Amino acid sequence: MPKKAPRRTAERILETSLALFNRFGEPNVSTTLISAELGISPGNLYYHYPAKDELINSLFERYERSLNELLGAAEGVRHVEDAWFFLHSLFERIWEYRFLYRDLNDLLSKNRLLETRFQGLLGAKTRAVRQLLGGLGRSGAIQIDGRELDPTADGMVALLTFWLSFEYVRDPRHALEPDHAQAALLRGAQHVLHQLAPYLEPAQRQHLMALSSAYQR
């Protein structure tokens, strides 16, 4: 029984850190603020996470595991509706750890682990999107020249990765607040999926337009 308390405290620290990082941005959140929010001493926090980078790395590792589980679903995409659901699910996962994307350049410049691991995550996203394109091609939902596969996949991944930054630049005061989350995620999924519009067969293109109209209401 006594051994469970440290694990509970460590979990609370991670959950609180994630909420604060997401709300205020990682550079604006100190370990003193985190410990005050939790109502624990800074020494107690340092016992579990001796440096702020260890907190960030632990959160990234959680995100990495969670995202990799979801990326495996790309193999099952066969139609526009499958792709819509997959991309929206990806954006929901990204939203849960949005501080990583909001503060990406700053984090990568000072954290060697993130610098290397985020590159791996980017590669995993790209492979998943290529699988998605492959599944759509095999089902006849898209007709795309093989020479256009890689540029299309890279463009979709770039939108996935930087969409929340775009939303933030458009409306810094509100874009990354929870009340605006659903609209931002739907816009992101819509714009990523519209990269496929020129390659969709007619019925699938009409279905894409219908989906877009439905979610804009």
Which tens digits make up the pLDDT trace of 64-118?
999 999 999 999 999 999 999 999 999 999 999 999 998 888 899 999 989 999 9
Which residues have CB under 8 Å from 132's CB, separation 6+? 74, 77, 83, 86
Task: Give me the mean pLDDT over the 12-37 stretch.
Answer: 95
The reported pLDDT for the residue numbered 175 is 82
The reported pLDDT for the residue numbered 122 is 94
Domain 1-50 matching CATH 3.40.50.970: the answer reads: no
Under DSSP, the state recorded for 3 is T
Residue 215: pLDDT band with limits 50, 70, 90? low
- CATH dotted code for 58-216: 1.10.357.10
pLDDT, tens digit (0-9, with 9 covering 90-100), for 127-161: 999 999 999 999 999 999 989 999 999 999 999 99
pLDDT, tens digit (0-9, with 9 covering 90-100), for 156-204: 999 999 998 899 888 888 887 888 888 889 899 999 999 999 999 999 9
Mean pLDDT of the chain: 91
**How does DSSP assign 66-129, residue by residue?**
HHHHHHGGGGG--SHHHHHHHHHHHHHHHHHTTHHHHTHHHHHHH-HHHHHHHHHHHHHHHHHH
Neighbouring C-alpha atoms within 13 Å toward the C-beta of 77: 28
pLDDT(1) > 80: no
Domains of the chain by residue range: 1-50, 58-216
pLDDT(2) > 80: no
To the nearest whole percent, how much of the chain has pLDDT over 90? Answer: 76
Task: Give me the mean pLDDT over the 33-58 stretch.
Answer: 95
**What is the pTM (predicted TM-score) of this model?**
0.89
pLDDT(46) > 50: yes
CA distance 85 to 91: 10
